[in-house]
Amino acid sequence: MRRAVCPGSFDPVTNGHLDIIGRASQLFDEVTVAVLVNDTKQGLFDVDERMDMLRVVAADFANVSVDAFHGLLVDFCRDHQIGAIVKGLRAVSDFDYELQMAQMNSSLAAVDTVFVPTSPEYSFLASSLVKEVATYGGDVSRLVPGHVLSRLSERLSERLSERGGTG
């Protein structure tokens, strides 16, 4: 059984992530999308919400499941008998840090990293930019799945009303 993990923050999942998850699901028998639990960084969505969104948008991929992890990714891989990490590469600028992480992970454990080039239409896409554009009223409907778009606009309206409705 060839198992892989697609790790990330997924705050929230974008069409770029979904592209990589779908392609990983063709390359491996089982794919776990693993959301990092980062106690030092509060996101727009909590980890359970991110996992819920991932489950909805990845529902068509029969061999993809969603989980969360604390601590080192290699420990999660060991605990789940996962031998490969799948990472999307958007541009050469991603490569330096991704290569460093891949080499560190393979030095810590017998886990290899498979780099999948992001589809060109998503090469500029990042969750942080989606949140920034959506916060200021920009159109992100082509950048995230429809379900995520609804959750994003709900959350941003909640934030706006918490702050007094003027933004």
Q: How far is the CB of 26 from ligand PNS (least distance, A)?
A: 21
Task: Report the run of H or E that residue 149 belongs to, with start and end.
Answer: helix 146-162
Q: How far is the CB of 68 from ligand PNS (least distance, A)?
A: 11
DSSP tag of 121: G
The Cα 114–Cα 111 span in angstroms is 10
Nearer to ligand PNS, 70 or 157 (CB): 70
Q: How many CA atoms lie within 13 A of 80 on its CB side?
A: 25
Nearer to ligand PNS, 36 or 140 (CB): 36
For binding to ligand PNS (CB under 6 A), which residues are involved? Answer: 7-9, 36, 72-73, 101, 104-105
Alpha helical stretches, state H, 10-145: 15-27, 47-57, 73-79, 92-108, 127-135
The Cα 119–Cα 111 span in angstroms is 25
Active-site positions read: 17, 41, 90, 127
Nearer to ligand PNS, 86 or 134 (CB): 86
Q: How far is the CB of 9 from ligand PNS (least distance, A)?
A: 4
